[in-house]
Amino acid sequence: MTVLRIDASIQGPNSASSELADLAEAEWLAVRPETTFVRRHVGTDPLPADAWSLALQARWLPEDQHTEQQRRAVELATTLTDELRQAEAVILALPLYNYGVSQHAKIWIDLAIAGGSQGERLLDGKPAIVLTTRGGGYGPGTPREGWDHNTAYLRRIVADVWGADLTLIERELTLAGVNPALDPLLETANLLKKAAHEAAGDAGRTLAAR
């Protein structure tokens, strides 16, 4: 069995989303040690920002007229799309930055879509664990309610566009203990962390056992 794991944090060893993905992966492997993990860390090894437009330009030209740059962009898009098609499950650690989806994750998503056919359900019915993390709090009644422009987008792409059987795990207030303004919320943040960690491990274990 093959699982595709994508990480997009720019925070290296301090990443809360990668920490959640590690927990899901460890529990997955405890159930199915024979699983092959295909990994891409688009935060530390970013995809080229111009590859998406180059791949799209190439679509509208006969192959023998592609520039070398366009040819390489198409190849990259096809590789990313094939990784999704070939995976039997995916674990995606995709953080929120600047109130939205991380640019590294967005380029990965755009390229994967560009490499497929129109509306292709790249993960049709396959299990997907999406682990998303954010520094602040965006719950109902909070001052920033409605400012999370990341989570609904990820759900839209992974579940609705790609057709995956989505397990979404969110952790808020990851900056509590780092940003003093969040000190009054430290206790809540710790509870949210514990719940997200348990949910990530459970998801890995449960989906691997299916």
Which residues of this chain interact with ligand FMN, rule CB under 6 A? 9, 11, 15-18, 95-99, 133-136, 174-175
- From 190, 3, 192, 209, select the one nearest 93 (Cα to Cα): 3
Number of CB atoms found within 10 A of residue 78's CB: 16
- From 27, 149, 157, select the one nearest 100 (Cα to Cα): 149
CB of 147 to ligand FMN, least distance (A): 7
CB of 2 to ligand FMN, least distance (A): 24
Supply 139's token pair. 């719950």
Residue among 106 and 126 whose Cβ is closer to ligand FMN: 106
User: Nearest-5° angle of CA 179, CA 19, CA 124?
Assistant: 120
CB of 16 to ligand FMN, least distance (A): 4
Residue among 21 and 76 whose Cβ is closer to ligand FMN: 21
Residue among 16 and 77 whose Cβ is closer to ligand FMN: 16
CB of 172 to ligand FMN, least distance (A): 8
Dihedral-angle region of residue 108 (phi above 0 means left; psi in -120 to 50 means alpha; beta otherwise): alpha
Provide the strand spans (E) within the chain.
2-7, 36-41, 89-93, 96-97, 100-101, 127-133, 165-171
Residue among 136 and 201 whose Cβ is closer to ligand FMN: 136
Supply 180's token pair. 């003093």
CB of 94 to ligand FMN, least distance (A): 8
Residue among 127 and 136 whose Cβ is closer to ligand FMN: 136
